[in-house]
């Protein structure tokens, strides 16, 4: 057991050699069977693939495309600038109206954009007025990575003007996204400068004191919104 036999030894290690030959014989015996099974499996797989291709061809259904492929002007910067120019309101409206459009909002987590009906109407009016309308949302460049870096100032309160700052909610784990959205996670924006049934509640306005990390914020669910006086947003909208 474990003994090594020198090349000059007259006794050959017969048992190991017999075991090796027996193993080889068994492998050779099973090889045709294994080959036959592999060939059969490949044939079944090819048949299934042919059936799928045939079904797609007969139904006339085109291959599925991503939202970025279907709506490149909403994703590609060059095409976006060529189509929208300074009409940021129209861009936001189209992002809301187009199913499947998402943003890499939080470390690879894809969020949709949902506008309240009141804000959707407001931005639609601004978009129709054109890019020179003073109510157009302001687009900051990449150097403004945080709200505190805004060149026009940043107040750590709930003030918003629907142009440089919006009232927004980060909504997750929903079973029924509102207003036609197909996302289970989305950014919900509401109108701050007028009447909006989905506006921030009085409690949200009172509590907000500037940007905070997830750990420092209070997360509301549908039951909390239902309990807050005057809150028109909650379980009825998102399930």
With a CB cutoff of 8 Å and minimum separation 6, the contacts of 97 are 180
Higher pLDDT, 20 or 57: 57
Residue 66's pLDDT is 85
Would you give the distance in Å from CA 89 to the centre of its chain? 22
* Residue 168, pLDDT above cutoff 70: yes
Residue 3's pLDDT is 44
User: Can you read off the two tokens belonging to residue 136?
Assistant: 């157009």
User: Can you read off the two tokens belonging to residue 134?
Assistant: 């003073």
Q: What residues are paired with 188 via a beta bridge?
A: 114, 169
Count Cβ atoms within 10 A of the Cβ of residue 154 and give its class: 0-12 exposed, 13-18 middle, 19 or more buried. Answer: middle
- Lowest mean pLDDT of 39-48, 72-81, 134-143, name the range: 39-48
- Lowest mean pLDDT of 36-50, 95-109, 204-218, name the range: 36-50
User: Of all residues in the chain, what percent carry a pLDDT higher than 90?
Assistant: 36
| Alpha-carbon span 94 to 51, nearest angstrom | 38
* Residue 166, pLDDT above cutoff 50: yes
| Alpha-carbon span 13 to 5, nearest angstrom | 7
Average pLDDT of the residues of the chain: 76
Q: What is the pTM of this model?
A: 0.69
Contact 88, 137 (CB under 8 A): yes
Averaged pLDDT, 28-50: 51
* Residue 142, pLDDT above cutoff 60: yes
């Amino acid at each position: 057991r474990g003994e090594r036999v020198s090349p000059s030894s007259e006794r050959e290690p017969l048992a190991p050699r017999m075991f090796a030959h027996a193993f080889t014989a068994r492998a050779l015996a099973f090889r045709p069977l294994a080959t036959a099974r592999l060939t059969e499996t490949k044939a079944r797989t090819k048949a299934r693939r042919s059936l799928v291709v045939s079904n797609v061809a007969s139904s006339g259904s085109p291959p599925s495309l991503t939202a970025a492929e279907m709506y490149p002007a909403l994703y590609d910067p060059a095409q976006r600038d060529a189509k929208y120019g300074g009409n940021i309101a129209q861009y936001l409206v189209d992002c809301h109206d187009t199913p499947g459009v998402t943003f890499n909002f939080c470390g690879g987590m894809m969020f949709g954009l949902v506008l309240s009906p009141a804000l959707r109407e407001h931005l639609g009016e601004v978009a129709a007025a054109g890019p020179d309308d003073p109510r157009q949302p302001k687009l900051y460049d990449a150097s403004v990575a945080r709200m505190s870096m805004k060149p026009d100032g940043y107040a750590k309160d709930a003030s918003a003007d629907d142009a440089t700052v919006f009232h927004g909610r980060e909504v997750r784990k929903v079973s029924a996204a509102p207003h036609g959205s197909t996302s289970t996670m989305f950014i919900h924006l509401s109108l701050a400068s007028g009447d909006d049934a989905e506006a921030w509640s009085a409690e949200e306005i009172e509590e907000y004191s500037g940007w905070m990390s997830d750990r420092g914020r209070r997360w509301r669910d549908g039951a909390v919104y239902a309990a807050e006086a005057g809150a028109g947003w909650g379980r009825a909208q998102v399930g």
